[in-house]
């Protein structure tokens, strides 16, 4: 039996919950272990209830586990809310000087210990020291991480934190904790990153040179990640006055030939839709990351959802081609950003990348190398590519629907663009031939765009029962498939990254072979399931849906599919 332990650290916002998780995650990763850390927090600066749940394993893990082995409660509310989640051999540490509250609860005055070590702010370091000591980690592992984190700080900070960690470890030295394990000494597996970080790195590797945004949770982390590269890479990140301005700045930069992007959430995407339409009619490439959160309106601003799929498929007035991609993992996220930029440039259309709060704010291991492509092709023509640059027409009618894209003021070719319908040379026109000609030209791209779509990734695709999902739900679906197979069910998984143009033929081939399939989505209406039925005629047997703002646990999916199958079998 391998290592599979979950630690949950909870308390009020402002108590350093994130810091405890970061310390634990980096210590585990440094030993070659795999981790998945999920942040759960309320929409407030201080107070309320927040927690970080870290799953530690010696094999790759792709979803949070519902069983908690070690609960660190920095507030009474945390203890009340999560004590029932403890596994049979689990233990809760309660930040209190009171006597133990039960056989599986130990009172340790974490905050008071931190004050004695140098300040209450180091309660997170005390907690990290206690956690790692209970899990059997050598003291040297946390010391190594603390030295790396605090060595550049002013004198005394590192020493105080080392003392705080040691105090926490000593406080639990006499406790026998059953889930403790032998710590490996292996090279770190891959890179420990959040979803927001991997999306930023993917954009940077794709030669993104301009990013404009208006802060909106949970997308802000992507832009913050890009901002960290300003000055080190040929990149400008601009905080605009609102989402409308951000979208139009991106279109302007792209019009000038610079790969550009923005990132927002559903409410911000709603404001960007007029800009999206402008990109559609001007055939200007742009990349928009929509990091979904529950709505409508402000909804649950710090929680997760997959309910914007139908919205992004049809957003903006009238119709025009676009790409919609939804990465299923960190590795997929890096690659998807590269594809989004490449496809947007090649077809001169918007590309929307759909992620969500769970994807963006969770930390996991990116296992594939993060390499930039050897070359970038923006599909831009110059005077040298034309027989007669002065005869250039930006919206030339072509068989493919793709007109040669020249840059303004970059040669003899005159580039004219308008948000109105236009002639082939860009002049505004309302004639019927120009209108029909340009609409048909734009939509002629679809045939080739459909050819770019990759089939969904699969596990056990020839199984009798298939579980189907998209985006960040893939990790939980994959683990639930393994649970069902361990119980003897012939089950497999299907995970869509490429959603629009819809990969119809691949979907028909895969889903047409199974006896029945279940949709697994984080929305109330099984939006991808509806799209599958619309495009293939295939209807899911049942949908496993979750829309409470929290990510799926694999056992939830497996339990509901198993119950449905048992009902069929009678």
Domain containing 149 — which CATH number? Answer: 3.40.920.10
Domain count, the chain: 4
> How much is the average pLDDT of 264-293?
98
Question: Is the pLDDT reported for residue 306 higher than 90?
Answer: yes
447, 461: one domain: no
Question: Is the pLDDT reported for residue 99 higher than 60?
Answer: no
Distances (CA, A) of 217 to 11, 263, 361, 394, 559: 21, 10, 10, 38, 32
User: What tens digit of pLDDT does each residue of 505-527 get?
Assistant: 999 999 999 999 999 999 999 99
**Quick check: is 183 in a domain?**
no
pLDDT of residue 102: 66
261, 167: one domain: no
In the structure, what pLDDT confidence band is assigned to residue 49 with cuts at 50, 70 and 90? confident
Question: Which residue segment(s) compose the domain that 559 sits in?
Answer: 457-569
Q: What percent of the chain has pLDDT over 70?
A: 99
**Quick check: is 392 in a domain?**
yes
282, 157: one domain: no
89, 8: one domain: yes
Extended strands (E) in 172-221: 191-194, 210-213
Of the ranges 87-91, 93-97, 294-298, 438-442, which one carries the lowest mean pLDDT score? 93-97
331, 273: one domain: yes
328, 209: one domain: yes
Residue with tokens 């918007």: 350
> How much is the average pLDDT of 391-398?
98
Q: What's the maximum distance between 2 C-alpha atoms anywhere in the chain? A: 87
Domain boundary residue, one of 434, 451, 468 = 451
**Quick check: is 56 in a domain?**
yes
**Quick check: is 294 in a domain?**
yes
User: What tens digit of pLDDT does each residue of 447-492 get?
Assistant: 999 999 999 999 999 999 999 999 999 999 999 999 999 999 999 9
pLDDT of residue 317: 94
**Quick check: is 178 in a domain?**
no
CB 306 within 8 A of CB 276: no
Dihedral pair phi/psi, residue 12, rounded to 5°:
-90, 150
Residues 488 and 566: their CA atoms lie apart, in Å, by 12
Residues 486 and 481: their CA atoms lie apart, in Å, by 9
Hey, which residues does 522 pair with through a beta bridge? none
pLDDT of residue 120: 83
253, 354: one domain: yes
Residue partners of 295: CB distance under 8 A and separation at least 6: 266, 267, 305, 307, 308
337, 398: one domain: no
Domain boundary residue, one of 171, 202, 232 = 171
442, 462: one domain: no
> How much is the average pLDDT of 401-407?
98
Distance of CA 337 to the CA centre of its chain: 11
Domain boundary residue, one of 415, 432, 451 = 451
205, 285: one domain: yes
17, 159: one domain: yes
> How much is the average pLDDT of 22-43?
93
Closest listed residue to residue 29, CA positions, set 193, 152, 151, 225: 193
pLDDT of residue 341: 98
**Quick check: is 176 in a domain?**
no
Residue partners of 475: CB distance under 8 A and separation at least 6: 62, 63, 328, 329
Closest listed residue to residue 188, CA positions, set 372, 326, 28, 4: 28
Residues 220 and 177: their CA atoms lie apart, in Å, by 39
490, 397: one domain: no
Residue spans of alpha helices (H) in 151-194: 157-171
């Amino acid at each position: 039996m391998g290592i599979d332990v979950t630690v949950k650290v909870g308390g009020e916002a402002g108590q350093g919950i994130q810091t405890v998780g970061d310390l634990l995650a980096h210590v585990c990763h440094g030993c070659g272990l795999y981790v998945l850390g999920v942040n759960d927090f309320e929409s407030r600066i201080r107070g309320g209830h927040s927690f970080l749940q870290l799953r530690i394993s010696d094999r790759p893990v792709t979803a949070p586990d519902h069983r908690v082995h070690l609960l660190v409660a920095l507030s009474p509310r945390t203890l009340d809310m999560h004590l029932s989640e403890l596994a049979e051999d689990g233990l809760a540490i309660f930040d209190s000087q009171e006597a133990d509250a039960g056989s599986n609860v130990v009172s340790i005055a974490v905050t008071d210990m931190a004050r004695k070590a140098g300040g209450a702010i180091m309660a997170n370091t005390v907690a990290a020291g206690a956690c790692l000591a209970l899990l059997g980690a050598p003291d040297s592992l946390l010391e190594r991480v603390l030295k790396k984190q605090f060595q550049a700080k002013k004198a005394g900070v590192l020493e105080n934190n080392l003392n705080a960690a040691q105090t926490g470890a000593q406080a639990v030295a006499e406790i026998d904790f059953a889930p403790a394990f032998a710590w490996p000494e292996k090279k770190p597996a891959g890179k420990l990153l959040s979803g927001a970080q991997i999306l930023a790195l993917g954009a940077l590797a794709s030669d993104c040179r301009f990013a404009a945004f208006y802060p909106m949770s949970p997308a802000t982390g992507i832009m913050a990640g890009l901002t960290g590269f300003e000055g080190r890479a040929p990149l400008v990140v601009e905080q605009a006055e609102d989402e409308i301005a951000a979208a139009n700045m991106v279109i302007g930069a792209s019009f000038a030939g610079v790969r550009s992007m923005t990132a927002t959430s559903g409410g911000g995407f709603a404001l960007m839709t007029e800009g999206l339409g402008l990109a559609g009619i001007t055939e200007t490439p742009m990349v928009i990351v929509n990091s979904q959160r529950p709505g409508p309106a402000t909804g649950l601003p710090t929680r997760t959802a997959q309910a914007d799929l139908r919205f992004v498929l049809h957003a903006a007035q009238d119709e025009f081609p676009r790409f919609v991609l939804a990465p299923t993992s960190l590795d997929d996220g890096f690659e998807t950003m590269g594809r989004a930029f490449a496809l947007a440039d090649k077809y001169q259309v918007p590309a929307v990348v759909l992620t969500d709060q769970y994807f963006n704010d969770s930390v996991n291991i990116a296992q594939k190398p993060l390499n930039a492509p050897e070359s970038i092709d923006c599909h831009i023509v110059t005077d040298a590519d034309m027989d007669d640059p002065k005869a250039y027409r930006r919206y030339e009618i072509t068989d493919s629907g793709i007109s040669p894209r020249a840059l303004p003021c970059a040669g003899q070719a005159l580039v004219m663009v308008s948000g109105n319908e236009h002639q082939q040379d860009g002049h505004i026109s309302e004639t019927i031939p120009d209108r029909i000609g340009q609409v048909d030209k734009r939509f002629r791209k679809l045939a080739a765009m459909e050819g770019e779509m990759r089939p969904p990734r699969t596990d056990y695709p020839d199984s009798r029962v298939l579980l189907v999902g998209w985006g960040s739900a893939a990790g939980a679906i994959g683990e639930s498939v393994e649970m069902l197979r361990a119980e003897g069910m012939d089950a497999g998984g299907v995970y869509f990254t490429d959603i629009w143009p819809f990969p119809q033929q691949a979907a028909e081939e895969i889903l047409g072979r199974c006896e029945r399939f279940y949709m697994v989505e984080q929305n109330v209406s099984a939006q991808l399931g509806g799209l599958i039925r619309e495009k293939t005629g295939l209807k899911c047997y049942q949908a496993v849906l979750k829309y409470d703002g929290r990510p799926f646990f694999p056992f939830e999916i497996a339990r509901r599919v198993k119950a449905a199958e048992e009902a069929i079998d009678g």
